[in-house]
Amino acid sequence: MAKYKAYPEYKDSGVEWLGEVPKSWVICRLKNLAVIKNGQDYKSVQADNGYPVMGSGGQFMFASKFMYDKPSVLLGRKGTIDKPLYVDVPFWTVDTMYYTELNKGVDAKYLYYLALTIQFSRYSTNTALPSMTQEHLSNYKFAIPKVESDRRKITDFLNHETAKIDNLIEKQQQLIELLKEKRQSVISHAVTKGLNPDVPMKDSGVEWLGEVPEHWVISPLKHDIFTRKGIAFKSSDFSSLGIRVVKASDIKKKTITSSDVFLPENFVKYYPKAILRFGDIVLSTVGSTPDVKNSAVGQLGAVPAELDGSLLNQNTVVFSANVNVLEQLYLFFLLQTDGYRDHLDLHAHGTANQASLNVSDMLDFKYSRPSLSEQIEIVDFIQNYNLKFDALETYCDTAIKYFQERRTALISAAVTGKIDVRDWVAPDSQETDKTEETTA
């Protein structure tokens, strides 16, 4: 914040988390700025289109009528309590949220920036489902400028500066998506066409494959792998210590995350087929419908080293390559192709909220198989490419984190008076002023 100046004089706010504030500012409570009101259950007004129904993560449904039709700031009542939302269209909000009716002279966007600085952890209940009371929110203290035009200047400044930062974040996110697409393309091409562009090709007779190298073998997946299912352990046996359990919901982004669910150590003796080893390939057989990409049934992951020896829960299946014809990592990359994902989507069945897969359907899939030596070459090629992609994605993630931290710091500095933006002028306005001066 070095490029921004401070206010001429400060005073002790008398509020621990505010510290010193500009001398001309006043201390007020949230209830002096707005009235906090409860959201309501949306089911009675649920519709296919109409007004947005807002939750802590944004819009997720439509309503046939609106609850409030003026700009407002939404605050979490239960669950996700630390993500205020700004809404400037007629909306309905759920009963786990509060909405605000602003007092005269208070701008909703300004209140939104103020709300982003609330230290929710000071008052939220310490439970699995955090909650905030109206009383605690209403009495939360802020320091604000007395003059409305000064508050408006802070809002204009933050609107402009956060828009620039958000644009930078969006560009990094777009780059990550492009990298993912490129990674997917490299994997799919390598395991379906090979590495030699000059090799003679033949028609595979399989629609998703098209032409493949002439010397590759077309083989049903079910002939080349072994499978074993996870075990339906009783939830009453789960504990907070022992052997870690891997659940279907832990399979994410080509890997497996560690859950906080354990089983007694003697279960290893009784359920040897449920034991996972480093490098095992695990797929979920139950999940969301195919349109929900990040949690769709058929999520794929390789067991990381830290989960070696863990126990596999139900609604999962392990795919193990027949080492005589198929290399395990080649199988892992094969299962990442768009062709196999389309195959799973085609065979997924179930209700509107949950889908499942039969293992027999998952195995009813034809692919093209090179020799073991060529499989190893392809695996090495993909792994080297993946290292480059990983480095670029890490760079993008680091940049996004930096921009997000800068955004948070800038908002906090402006609304708590650490920087003085009263003389700030939007760059476009500056250019207009210069043009007018030149013309004159």
What are the sequence ranges of the domains in the chain? 1-14+146-194+370-440, 25-144, 201-368
CB 211 within 8 A of CB 203: yes
pTM: 0.81
Kind plus residue range of the DSSP H or E element containing 2: none
Specify the residue for token string 């057989």: 285
For residue 429, what pLDDT is reported?
A: 55
The residue among 119, 143, 115 whose CA lies nearest residue 18 is 143
The domains spanning 25-144 and 201-368 adopt the same CATH topology: yes
**Edge-to-edge order in the sheet of strand 300-302:** 225-229, 316-321, 281-284, 300-302
Query: In CATH terms, is domain 25-144 a member of 3.60.15.10?
Result: no
* CATH code for the structural domain at 1-14+146-194+370-440: 1.10.287
DSSP state of 259: P
Collect the ranges in the chain with pLDDT lower than 50.
432, 435-440
Which CATH number applies to 201-368: 3.40.50.12140, 3.90.220.20, 3.40.190.170, 3.90.1720.10?
3.90.220.20
Are the C-beta atoms of 293 and 324 separated by less than 8 Å? no
Tell me the C-alpha to C-alpha distance, in Å, between residue 144 and each of 13, 29, 31, 135, 155.
11, 10, 13, 20, 12
Helix (H) or strand (E) holding 165: helix 148-193
Ramachandran bin of 292, using left for φ above 0, alpha for ψ from -120 to 50, beta for the remaining angles: beta
Write out pLDDT tens, residues 414-423. 999 999 999 9
DSSP 221: G
Vertex 116 angle, CA 115 and 120, to 5°: 80
Helix 338-347, helix 148-193: angle, nearest 10: 100
pLDDT digits (tens, 9 = 90+) for 244-275: 999 999 998 899 999 889 999 999 999 999 99
The Cα–Cα gap between 396 and 382 comes to 21
- d(C-alpha 248, C-alpha 298), whole Å: 9
